[in-house]
Structure 1
Amino acid sequence: METPAPRTMWRLVLALLCLQLGEGLLRIPLKKGRSMREVMRENGVLESFLKGLKGDPGRKYLPSNAVAYEPLTNYLNSFYFGEISIGTPPQNFLVLFDTGSSNLWVPSTYCQTPACESHAMFNCSLSSTFSDIGVTYTLRYGFGDLSVVLGSDTVTIQNIVVKNQEFGLSLDEPSNPFYYLDFDGILGMAYPGVGISGYNTLIQNMMQQNQLTEPIFSFYYSRNPTYNYGGEVILGGVDPQLYTGEVLWTPVVQEIYWKIGIEEFSIGPSATGWCSQGCHGIVDTGTFLLTIPGQFMSTFLQQLGAEESDDGYIVDCSSVPSMPTLYFAISGAQLSLPPSVYVLNNDGVCNVGVESTYVSSTNGQPLWILGNVFLRQYYSIFDIANNRVGFALSA
């Protein structure tokens, strides 16, 4: 996803009552000589506890430092999205959790285009906690632009509750591609520098309102996703059950996107030298493919034996097992992408899961985008406090 750019500002006249709600926390004191069952019965939680025992037994292995454990749905083996709610009472939306942008927006009843009407739309008049801001912006993404007006309301993700969160209510969404997407909106998780100036991102407010046990979040994408299960995003923690081996940490080189350094790129055993002067890579859960700097694309395809067609960059499916493994040198380690990961078999048509970009990094370094083709291979950890990204081989 790319940087949102502000255009015009105007106000919508709304007279809405704002109601601030507080949450209570149940604390169960334990007294010597009394059973846990007795204490839980007195506090009115025994029945719900026993019902919970009939649920998924694997949930006991969830990491203790994870504040929200959000399941993700897979769409066309490309985008991954989960459910959030906005407002009081809550209105539910499916959003793309996107580390390549910073704004939260959802369709709204202000929008009358078919793309909005085919999705869940936020109705501010139905929320007692909504406040109008009235500033409008155009948000630009790699797959299209849309205009939004800002408001604020309570946002809930699992057990995380963020009050007074600024977000965009769509005013206009073009049919291509928004009409055809299974998710409703986008939740940006990049640095505030690419967000709308003067307003906190959702991640910022999570931290300021003490909703994250740790200033960290992580993604797991299943290598064999189904529509019902694509993976997990963990807000506030890391789940060691979802990866194997050690975590490789690499620093963020520019605190705007989750941008890291790439020291070398190899096709099979041969280093290309393309990053001899340094490359940058944006770790982007909102980009489907692996994006290669445009100046290298033709050579890359030639070495893989791929041909361009209406179906993308195709190869003979029978040749996939003998194709070379790709290697990214990051922080002194070699992160591999075997052909079984970067070649996508779509009903017998085998596509190399890449695309090109002609945008360079800030200082002219070749820019890669490590999208979902890469992230299905590696569990990714985004450490806000230490400005670093971690990779470990997905389980």
Structure 2
Amino acid sequence: MKCLVAVLVCVVLAEGIVKIPLQKHKSMREALREKGIELPYQDPALKYQTDVFAGSANMYINNYADTTYYGAISIGTPPQSFQVLFDTGSANLWVDSAYCNTQACNAHTKFNPKQSSTFSRKGQSFYLPYGAGSLYGVFGYDTVNVGGIVIYNQEIGLSTNEPNQAFLAAKFDGILGLSYPSISAGGETPVMDNMINQNLLNANIFAFYLSRDGQQGSVLTFGGVDNSMYQGQISWTPVTSETYWQIGVDGFEINGQETGWCSQGCQSIVDTGTSTLTAPSQLLGNIMQSIGAQQNQYGLYMVDCSQINNLPTLSFVISGVSFPLPPSAYINQYCSVGIAPTYLPSRDGRPLWIFGDVFLREYYSIYDRTNNRLGFAAAV
């Protein structure tokens, strides 16, 4: 796994570039309903319902091997289309551009400012060092269309040089960051903030449903929630730092037994751009021991495939509510453990986790900028 440390983005870069067109799929709830099965739920967020709102959008985004969730946006006039990683762990929007001729840039669709009548150059350059490489670019302004929501004068980073192979095999042409503007490189205004500033949304929220087992049907909603993507109630917890989508964790349980590892409080960053569940490095050995995982010659933690159903359930307690992860959530089809260490410093002495896609496939996640809180509900 290549980790882009500067903006806390972790993605698995697989070989080959495959462009998968966005397709509309029936929701799981609709498919079950056709078979006579109705999933009950109580909905505490009807005021956010997206079906009747013009200031909202449902985007069906791609799932590549349960490691990368990305979809199409367009930039410019006439529109040029790009696949971008939708990332709650960073704040900037950038895409490959015609200014860049490195191998990594040439492997992707590139934005050509000369072909857009609405583009204007800002004149400010940037450099982003990543753990797996680096990116040089310049900022400009143009019209951006995200799921039918049109944002005018959006600041965009355009790559000018990608000097190594870090992005060569990425499934996407850029990254659309959805975290808070305080961590935006170059002071660029994030897409979500421009949606808010331009009054484009009925509610200043967005939400993710991440599909499982490499299946398509993932949904990103702006301006509301998709009530067909979750069941039961939404549990809310406050953001503890308006930088990343960071929240407090009160406890960590193994098979219902409290470990005490978060007795003084833990913190977690909720990050769609990280494929794994990331644990504080000092706790990883204890977690693997409780799972019975062994490290192989490639450094991966593996379990006995015949014993997966006997592995423990891992649970996080957040604002008094328990969020369990069964073995099917954290063990992949190759019997390796989807939990990795983080060596990031703890926040105020509190251990830091990253709730990546392993967690977010189990729980529909709602990001509320008005109230600076995160909501979780059981994903269908």
Q: CA deviation at 1:139?
A: 2.4
C-alpha separation in 2, matches of 1:56 and 1:356? 36
2:358 counterpart of 1:373: yes
Secondary structure in structure 2 of the residue aligned to 1:176: coil
Aligned residue number for residue 323 of structure 1: 311
Choose which of 143, 163, 167 in structure 1 pairs with 2:156.
167
Q: Which has the larger radius of gyration?
A: 1
Aligned residue number for residue 257 of structure 1: 244
The superposition leaves residues 159-205 of structure 1 with CA deviations (integer Å, 9 ceiling, x where unpaired) of 20001110100112254331111111100000001103433111111
Counterpart residue identity of residue 302, structure 1: Q
Choose which of 275, 286, 311 in structure 2 pairs with 1:299.
286
Counterpart residue identity of residue 291, structure 1: T
Aligned residue number for residue 332 of structure 1: 320
2:232 counterpart of 1:245: yes
Cα 1:180–1:333 change in 2 (3 A) is same
C-alpha separation in 2, matches of 1:85 and 1:220? 22
Q: CA deviation at 1:62?
A: 5.6
Choose which of 279, 286, 296 in structure 1 pairs with 2:266.
279
Aligned residue number for residue 11 of structure 2: none
Cα 1:220–1:272 change in 2 (3 A) is same
Choose which of 168, 171, 178 in structure 2 pairs with 1:189.
178
The superposition leaves residues 92-149 of structure 1 with CA deviations (integer Å, 9 ceiling, x where unpaired) of 0000110000000000011111111010000111111101112121224565431221
In the TM superposition, what are the counterparts of 1:191-230 in structure 2 within 5 Å? 191-226=180-215, 229-230=216-217
Aligned residue number for residue 82 of structure 1: 71
| Contact 2:181/2:187 (8 A) holds in 1 | no
Q: CA deviation at 1:262?
A: 0.4
C-alpha separation in 1, matches of 2:101 and 2:167? 13
Choose which of 135, 143, 147 in structure 2 pairs with 1:158.
147
2:371 counterpart of 1:386: yes
Q: Percent identity?
A: 48
| Contact 2:50/2:224 (8 A) holds in 1 | no
The superposition leaves residues 352-372 of structure 1 with CA deviations (integer Å, 9 ceiling, x where unpaired) of 101101112431211000000
Gaps of 5+ in 2: 9-24, 32-48
Counterpart residue identity of residue 272, structure 2: T
Instruction: State the number of aligned residues.
Output: 340
Counterpart residue identity of residue 367, structure 2: F
- CA-based RMSD of the aligned residues comes to 2.1
Aligned residue number for residue 48 of structure 1: none
C-alpha separation in 1, matches of 2:131 and 2:201? 29
The superposition leaves residues 318-362 of structure 1 with CA deviations (integer Å, 9 ceiling, x where unpaired) of 1100000000010001100000111001xxx31110110111243
Normalising by structure 2, report the TM-score. 0.85
Cα 1:382–1:141 change in 2 (3 A) is farther
Secondary structure in structure 2 of the residue aligned to 1:386: coil
Q: CA deviation at 1:3?
A: 4.6
Gaps of 5+ in 1: 6-54
Normalising by structure 1, report the TM-score. 0.82
